[in-house]
Structure 1
């Protein structure tokens, strides 16, 4: 964009991307208020997992931000129906039952089928809440030989999300990381559902938020 004369400097580009993040953030929050953000049910199964998004420094150099000093755990809920993927990504302080189970109860419909690893906070809690819960023991196999469940979908999703966040240097602060997680959610919940794709949805949201 600098070479084409659209932006005069990297500082201008940074301001533009910040504005675009705010557009996506506001559109997603409006969607949540209007319809909620629920996944699962009889036709959509859910995978849950946690991943560390601690600040990554290239070649071990660069500024040591707050997300490098302590781990930043992102709790992910990935809903799968055919080729459709809908993530819910929440920054959590700890991978404990008190932090994870309320997020599941808030976003996953009762009666849904949930797949996870054998992380202790999930045991018994999910079935007690009315979910059908399957686990995969990663220390023994990637695909469970009994029920055929696996978490490869969410592992691939983590790789995609992290590459996007790290490429944009979006995990330096907690605030910035949250914004990037919301942009990822916007892409899958709103962007991909638009008939003209994410760009068409982005132009639509810009028009709505910046009326002349």
Structure 2
């Protein structure tokens, strides 16, 4: 798929009503944690933002994900979009997404044009309310991952993310020992599930609407 055609389509859709929960729930773990969608429970949540970065590569459109290093924490070893928590020096959450993208994968924020944002998603285990932004770069960025925060960068073709054939389902065991079933995206032999998959679920709903 051509980058600018994808950008034009998404930009138009982002200015209309968003699917929100209807899109996110498509990739939500089961049993469903309704706390993700209870707005009254997120007043004291920490704010954060992630970046869905579209970029040109060999005539196609790609999206980078990061795999977190193994550590003692809720998201150890998981695959996510570049992003992180809002800092006081950030003008807004869009700036948070741009700054974190530059810090984590080394892409100059001046190279990224932000076209809009998607619906907020609450992540109960870490008490984060995350805002996903969509941006693009017409040039192939020079990726320089921060080894403290990124064990590897995973590059996926945008068309693969929109292909339902890459959606599978399996069981997951949480650190608490609790087991659940969840759909996931099979991206470059990596399991992408949880909040990142739910964000992709809304992106897919936006794209196909």
Q: Does the pair score TM above 0.5?
A: no
TM-score (norm 1): 0.27
Is the helix fraction higher in 1 or 2? 1
Is the strand fraction higher in 1 or 2? 2
* Greater RCO, CA 8 A, separation 6+: 2
Larger of the two Rg values belongs to structure: 1
TM-score (norm 2): 0.27
